[in-house]
Amino acid sequence: MKATTEVECPLCGSMIKFGWETTDVPHFGEVMVIAGTCERCGFKHTDTILLTQGEPTRYTFEIREVEDLNVRVIRSTSGTIRLPDLGVDVEPGATSDAYITNVEGVLQKIKGVVSFATRSARDAGAEENARRGDGILECIEKAMEGRYPLTLVLEDPLGNSAIISEDAISSELTDEECESLKTGMIILDGDDG
């Protein structure tokens, strides 16, 4: 279904025509894609909203060799990524993006964030934190060269994320585990009780 909606631009107040449509995306289910650009000031906004929900799931994958970097990773806006061997957690926030990449892409994203945090710590004089960041970056580099095994965990309380590999272990999350996870979005519960 394709449709348009007009709303006021948050920057200049002119009217923006947003186009939106629903479509089915493998591993994500039904999604609503929204896009609009203000013709007056150039403000742009795009969003993808998941309209379906799967079973709460955890995927665990062992990165042992360079070939493992090619394994497909699908992360929805509600997915939490963990590298428990390094104490790294990437939790969803209000502006989380869904993406389809591979293990190497996930490691590159994490590497970029850790690099920024390490530089910031060093600039702030927090040398201990900077050294910890340097150690994490070194381990990620070694893992990408097949010289350091890492465990990649992907948890999604809404069940819209996945690691696509025969070697990935999938398990259902408990209610307690789901409650401890961030979703990056407001969830409306239809239960009256």
Q: How far is CA 21 from CA 25, 75, 80, 97, 98, in A?
A: 12, 21, 27, 18, 17
Which of 12-16, 86-90, 175-179 is least confident?
A: 175-179
Give yes or no for residue 100 having a pLDDT over 80. yes
Task: Indicate whether 185 belongs to any domain.
Answer: no
The residue among 93 and 27 whose pLDDT is bigger is 93
Q: Are 61 and 32 part of one and the same domain?
A: no
CATH code of residue 145: 2.60.120.1040
Instruction: Give 57-80 pLDDT, tens digit per residue.
Output: 999 999 999 999 999 999 888 899
Task: Indicate whether 186 belongs to any domain.
Answer: no
Q: What is the domain range of residue 42?
A: 2-50
CATH code of residue 44: 2.20.25.420
What pLDDT score was predicted for residue 109? Answer: 95
Q: Are 43 and 118 part of one and the same domain?
A: no
